[in-house]
Amino acid sequence: MITLDGVRKDYTSEVRIGPVDLAIPAGGITALIGPNGAGKSTLLTLIGRLLGLDAGTIEIAGYDVARTRSKDLAKVVSVLRQENHFITRLTVRQLVAFGRFPHSKGRLTAVDEEMISQAIDFFELADLEGRYLDELSGGQRQRAYVAMVLCQDTEFVLLDEPLNNLDMRHSVQMMKHLHRAAAELGRTIVIVLHDVNFASHYADYICAVKDGAVVEFGPCAQVMTAPVLTEVFDTPVQVIDGPNGPLAVYY
Amino acid sequence: MAELTTAVRATPTPPRTVRTSAALPGTRRARRYWLVLIGLALLAAAFGIALVVWDNPMPVGTAGFWRIVALRSKNVLVMLIVAFCQAMATVAFQTVTTNRIVTPSILGFESLYVAVQTGAIYLLGATGLTMLTGVPQFIGQIVLMVGLAVALYGWLLSGKHGNLHVLLLIGIIIGAGLGSVSTFLQRLLTPSEFDLLTARLFGSISSADADYLPIAVPLAAGAGLLLWRRARRLNVMALGRDVTTGLGLNHRRELVVVLVLVAVLMATSTALVGPMTFLGFLVATLAYQFADTHDHRHVLPVAVLTGFVVLSGAYFVMKNLFYAQGVVSIIIELVGGVTFLVVILRKGRL
Ligand SMILES: Nc1ncnc2c1ncn2[C@@H]1O[C@H](COP(=O)(O)OP(=O)(O)O)[C@@H](O)[C@H]1O
Ligand SMILES: [Mg+2]
């Protein structure tokens, strides 16, 4: 379980995120949705202790993120930011291997290599594993980064718009994989999604964020309604019954 | 064209039987790396030996012969220290700043050195320079340079708004400020004093005193060893602050430790022979081209050897072709700059 209690981040006197109180249940996928600049990335990076809190507390499985040592947290929670700095002369496989760092401290064992291979195969990166990161397309690189984070093998996984740059097939595949990781391995995945329909179909819970505050949080059915989405996104949204559950139509 | 070469280079190397995340996957790349390393080591040894024995005017075996050998060995040792310090410091600095085009001199070590030398000669005349030589003064200069750097780091990185880019910016501003003060003072010097000073401000190997070595060697070796032991963490830090934190390292702590070690290495090198701005940059860039891996445990040895080859090569040429001993920074900047451009233009990336 992830609990946020009176969490605040004050960027400037005008831009303040929070206070946010939220309890994300353990197990399953929670999708963060909301317009640009709502504060989704801020919340995710606060939870992932990449950004310092200005007030409040965040606990992941009982660990206070502000007080627990980073190296202990790294075995509990993994986080991927929206943008990533990448370096040259690093191959896809070497990048994915960094996911094992919290466990092996850079001295990879045969078990590590096996997990790396699995993550790579899963994201269909096997043919690319020897390629340098600067020789990949945006989507391929994105998959490599997600593979790295999943290779970290933590109970809690935080992903900021991992579907960025992915084509339809790879988006669906990634969501299916995350869904399976949540269902079969009991992982708790918090994911920022751009497309509410992806959220609706794959997530167990949706958290709608707007202007630095949580406006709605609950099971998909509770959030996937025309009034809620219209209010959150400030644009007319209709929700119709699709073949696989509710479908938001906004164009 | 660029796409074409990329495509050719990107085609997978021979079918992999064992899948590995090693720094040098595949025998071909591993063999290439070791060949490069051995080649550099042989070249370094050749230059080192040549510098000691080449063109010794005294008959072999006489006391004079050995005196010259001893004197020259000191110079070779100085070059080794300087190459080691500059190579290790620059590679580590570029990694923690995630920037391949900066060098630690951006933090103002060299401007401080120049300002101290200029100030001394301005205030005390030619005797000022002699007062700056001696072991305590040598230690004093190192302490001053490390002190400035650490004060800068501590002040910036401990605060809430501490930020690496602000640190670099302030370093540049302090460097520029010290630089202009020095330039101004230099205008007030007499021509003969100015002459004396200029000789000190080119990176010069022969000006290093043998008495400094018992201090410089342990400092360089100690800081270098500590950096080496952090090599795996440096690999992670190259991925940036967020990934580093996500993978469980305390980024700020690692950053401060590495920056302090860099300061010690840079201060030692600068106090020993003066400014060598370009050497570190050249060597780090070439080392990445030669080693062709991200892994610091492979890049650092190549960088140190490259540094020594460049430095001793420049010194050898200066001494035996131009009969201008010691002043190596000129030729490093000239030849090194050209080599650098050729390598970069051919490969098209840093
Ligand atoms: N480093 C920063 N400094 C100042 N303001 C910021 C910073 N990062 C984000 N913001 C502001 O905080 C708000 C929330 O940003 P963010 O969390 O990135 O939104 P989202 O991910 O939902 O699009 C935005 O108004 C943004 O402009
Ligand atoms: Mg965002």
Digit-coded pLDDT (tens) for A11-41: 988 888 979 999 999 989 999 999 999 999 9
The domains located in chain B, with CATH, are 43-50+76-349 (1.10.3470.10)
Q: Are B239 and A87 in contact (CB under 8 A)?
A: yes
Q: Are residues A162 and A65 in the same domain?
A: yes
Chain B residue numbers touching A79 (CB-CB < 8 A): 242, 246
Question: Chain A to chain B, count of Cβ pairs less than 8 Å apart?
Answer: 100
Q: Are A196 and A33 in contact (CB under 8 A)?
A: yes
pLDDT of amino acid B105: 84
The Cα–Cα gap between B193 and B198 comes to: 9
Among A114, A131, A153, which residue terminates a domain? A153
Q: Which of A45, A98, A117 sits opposite B236 (nearest CB)?
A: A98
Q: Which of B26, B239, B247 sits opposite A87 (nearest CB)?
A: B239
Q: Are residues A158 and A69 in the same domain?
A: yes
Q: Are residues A222 and A142 in the same domain?
A: no
Residue A17: beta bridge partners? A9
Q: SS3 sequence, B164-206?
A: HHHHHHHHHHHHHHHHHHHHHHHHCCCHHHHHHHHHHHCCECC
Q: Are A147 and A170 in contact (CB under 8 A)?
A: no
Residue A85 in this model has a pLDDT that exceeds 80: no
Q: Record the tokens describing residue B270, joined without a space.
A: 């600068």
Residue to substitute from A94, A104, A129, interface B, most B β-carbons within 10 A: A94
Q: A31: closest CA among A195, A251, A215, A240? A: A195
Q: Are residues A66 and A187 in the same domain?
A: yes
Bond from prior residue into A227 cis (ω within 30 degrees of 0): no
Q: Are residues A71 and A158 in the same domain?
A: yes
The Cα–Cα gap between A171 and A138 comes to: 13
A9 touches ligand 1 (CB under 6 Å): no
Residue A99 in this model has a pLDDT that exceeds 90: yes
**ipTM given for this complex:** 0.91
The Cα–Cα gap between A159 and A50 comes to: 13
Q: Are B304 and B223 in contact (CB under 8 A)?
A: no
Q: Are A209 and A33 in contact (CB under 8 A)?
A: yes
pLDDT of amino acid B222: 96
Q: Which of B6, B232, B250 sits opposite A135 (nearest CB)?
A: B6
In this structure, what DSSP letter does residue A219 have? E
In this structure, what DSSP letter does residue B332 have? I
Q: Which residue's CA is minimally distant from atom 26 of ligand 1? A: A37
The Cα–Cα gap between B224 and A231 comes to: 59
Q: Which residue's CA is minimally distant from atom 20 of ligand 1? A: A37
Distance from CA of A128 to the nearest CA of B (A): 8
Q: Are residues A71 and A161 in the same domain?
A: yes
Q: A12 vs A38, A212, B161, CA distance in Å?
A: 15, 13, 13
Q: B23: closest CA among B262, B304, B234? A: B234
A18 touches ligand 1 (CB under 6 Å): no
Residue range A121-141: average pLDDT? 88
- Tell me the CATH number at A246: 3.40.50.300
Q: In terms of residues, how long is chain A?
A: 251
Report the DSSP pairing between strands A188-192 and A156-160: parallel
pLDDT of amino acid A89: 84
DSSP string, B60-100: TTSHHHHHHHHHHHHHHHHHHHHHHHHHHHHHHHHHHTT-T
The answer to whether B240 contacts A49, with C-beta atoms less than 8 Å apart, is no
Q: Are A185 and A118 in contact (CB under 8 A)?
A: no
Among A153, A168, A189, which residue terminates a domain? A153
**CA A44 to ligand 1: nearest atom:** 17
Strand, coil or helix: A153: coil
Q: Does A76 touch chain B (CB under 8 A)?
A: no
The strand ranges marked E within chain A are 2-10, 16-24, 28-33, 55-60, 63-64, 77-80, 156-160, 188-192, 205-210, 213-219, 238-242, 245-249
The answer to whether A106 contacts B243, with C-beta atoms less than 8 Å apart, is no
Determine the structural domain holding residue A108 and report its residue range: 85-153
Among A153, A180, A197, which residue terminates a domain? A153
Q: Are residues A116 and A158 in the same domain?
A: no
A15 touches ligand 1 (CB under 6 Å): yes
Q: Are residues A243 and A213 in the same domain?
A: yes
Q: Are B336 and B283 in contact (CB under 8 A)?
A: no
The Cα–Cα gap between A80 and A107 comes to: 23
Task: Give the global pTM.
Answer: 0.89
The Cα–Cα gap between B259 and B279 comes to: 19
pLDDT of amino acid B4: 43
Q: Are residues A167 and A211 in the same domain?
A: yes
Q: Are residues A123 and A139 in the same domain?
A: yes
Where do the H-state alpha helices sit in B99-134? 109-124, 126-131
The residue ranges of chain B whose pLDDT is under 50 are: 1-11, 14-15
Q: Please tell me which residue of chain B has the smallest CA distance to A113.
A: B20
φ/ψ of A67, rounded to 5, equals -110, -25
The answer to whether A74 contacts B25, with C-beta atoms less than 8 Å apart, is no
φ/ψ of A150, rounded to 5, equals -70, -25
Block residue for tokens 């929700």: A239
For A186-226, what is each residue's pLDDT tens digit?
899 999 998 999 999 999 999 999 999 999 999 998 999 99
Q: Are A166 and A174 in contact (CB under 8 A)?
A: yes
The answer to whether A113 contacts B233, with C-beta atoms less than 8 Å apart, is no
Q: Are residues A144 and A160 in the same domain?
A: no
The Cα–Cα gap between A240 and A224 comes to: 10
The answer to whether A89 contacts B238, with C-beta atoms less than 8 Å apart, is no
In this structure, what DSSP letter does residue B146 have? H
CA A40 to ligand 2 center in whole angstroms: 6
Q: Are residues A65 and A189 in the same domain?
A: yes
The answer to whether B349 contacts A113, with C-beta atoms less than 8 Å apart, is no
Q: Are B139 and B133 in contact (CB under 8 A)?
A: no
**CA A161 to ligand 1: nearest atom:** 21
Strand, coil or helix: A29: strand
Q: Which of A70, A108, A131 sits opposite B250 (nearest CB)?
A: A70
Give the total number of structural domains in chain A: 2
